[in-house]
A = this chain, B = another copy of it.
Amino acid sequence: MGCEEEVVTTLRKAGQKATPQRIAVLSALRHSGRHMTASELLAEAKRQIPVLEISTVYRTLAAAKELRLVGEARMGTGEVEYEWLGQNRHHHLICRQCGQVERIEDTYLASLAIALFENYGFRADLDHFAIFGICRNCQKGGRG
């Protein structure tokens, strides 16, 4: 299934409207396969919808986040980064010193979710975490 079709069916299934604006923004994000900021998405989606407004981009992303289609993370740059999640879940380790970003799979956070459910009955949505700290290299005194 292509980006557009998946976006359209998912929105409709959730009782939301599949507008050209949303389709343009979300399929741009899904298609890129990487983190993108709201303004990057605006620039990209404007190629299809020239009148598109940044507020529509934000509202689209907020709605898609509710549906857990996209994840967001503050990676330490000024702007929030968004990413298409679909079924997959992953997280990031960010070094406070050298800025290096490492991607980690969901395993570690998944076991946290299990522990929280067993102890608090809380069903945690650990979709896309940014975890700050010091990387292996910088601990050794390296500059990363």
Q: Which residues of A contact B (CB under 8 A)?
A: 93, 95-96, 102, 104, 108-109, 111-112, 115-116, 119-126, 131-136, 139
| Cβ-defined contact, B122 with A136, below 8 A | yes
Copies of this chain, tallied across the complex: 2
For residue A109, which residue of chain B has the nearest CB?
B112
5 A–B contacts, CB within 8 A, in A order: A93-B116, A109-B112, A116-B133, A122-B133, A125-B134
For residue A135, which residue of chain B has the nearest CB?
B122
| Cβ-defined contact, A125 with B133, below 8 A | yes
Which residues in B have their C-beta under 8 angstroms from that of A108?
A: 112, 115-116, 119
Which residues in B have their C-beta under 8 angstroms from that of A111?
A: 112, 115
